[in-house]
Amino acid sequence: MTKILLSGCNGTMGKVITNLVAERNDCEIVAGLDVNTTPNGIYPIFGNADDIDVKCDAIIDFSHPSALSGVLKYALKTQTPAVISTTGLSEEQINSIHLASSQVPIFFSANMSIGVSLISELAKKAASVLGNSFDIEIVEAHHNKKIDAPSGTALMLANAVSEGLDYTPNYEYNRHSKREKRTKNEIGIHAIRGGTIVGEHEIIFAGNDEIITISHSARSKSIFAVGSINAAVFISNKTPGMYSMKELVAEC
């Protein structure tokens, strides 16, 4: 039984994770961490990581970028594996995650969906075959309350495409679709924010007289919650290092 500390437990994703874990028999949430310490009647909730007095096997962080330093500090202090699912992190924060992974196991992915992991690999393969003669555009859409734009997933997909090319592209981010003509070695990333869209990502390979698209549509936040829970169970007995959906899928 994997004992989980849930950071961001009173947030939208935290509540989804709490409900899903209650339906499983391979893990349980033993404590929560959140600036909002309103009790949920299920497990103790702490406002400060230094006050946590419950032993856990893994941390799931689905909170806010501002909470990352406290989560990593706790993980290092207690030698507890951590699943970092929060998006909108700065380059400096991502570097701190990699640094922490030299001492504790860290599972880090811009998107916790197995489906997104799959289309990332497909996009990489498509880029290796089509990239030199096709223009590449990435379009992503999320709800109007999402903080970061472009999404971490869009950047992850752009990096996957980049790995499949025989040249190093530039990324051109455009919040709106109207733009000037793009140069050859650029990947366009377009962000849409509106309504309650959970998450839509599409990679477009546009060539002469043909268009190839690879897309993923998230219909519920639960797919990300399930991924983070599976990651926590997966990483609870691993050695220090960086892990991602690729390693989790390979072990399934």
Residue 170: per-residue pLDDT: 75
- C-alpha to C-alpha distances, 4 to 66, 149, 166, nearest whole angstrom: 21, 30, 42
How far apart are alpha carbons 173 and 220 in whole angstroms? Answer: 26
Token code pair at residue 227:
């991924």
Among candidate residues 9, 7, 14, 13, the one with its CA nearest the CA of residue 73: 7
What angle (nearest 5°) sits at the alpha carbon of residue 7, between those of residues 139 and 34?
110
Q: In sequence order, what DSSP letters do the residues of 69-106 get, joined into one string?
A: HHHHHHHHHHT--EEE------HHHHHHHHHHTTTSEE
- The residues annotated as belonging to the active site are 142, 146
Show pLDDT as tens, one digit a residue, over the chain (252 residues). 999 999 999 998 999 999 999 999 999 999 999 999 999 999 999 999 999 999 999 999 999 899 999 999 999 999 999 999 988 888 899 999 999 999 999 999 878 888 998 999 999 999 999 977 899 999 999 999 888 888 889 988 999 999 988 777 777 776 544 445 555 678 889 999 999 999 999 999 999 999 999 999 999 889 999 999 999 999 999 999 999 988 887 776
- Find the radius of gyration of the CA atoms of the chain: 19
Q: Bridge-partner residues for 237, per DSSP? A: none
CB 219 within 8 A of CB 225: no
Residue 177 pLDDT: 46
- CA distances in angstroms from 218 to 19, 112, 135, 147, 206, listed in the order given: 19, 11, 25, 18, 24
Measured in degrees and rounded to the nearest 5, phi and psi for residue 220 equal -155, 145
* 40: three-class secondary structure by DSSP: coil
| Cα(119)–Cα(114) distance, integer angstroms | 9
105 Cβ contact list (under 8 Å, min separation 6)? 81, 82, 235, 238, 239, 240, 241, 243
Residue 127 gets the label, from left (phi > 0), alpha (psi -120 to 50) or beta, of alpha
Tokens linked to 224: 């990300």
Q: What secondary structure does DSSP assign to 164-208, as a single string? A: HSSS-PEEEEESSS--PPPPTTEEEEEEEE-TT--EEEEEEEEET
**Considering only CA atoms, which of 230, 240, 236 is closest in space to residue 117?**
230
- State which H helix or E strand residue 213 sits in: strand 210-218
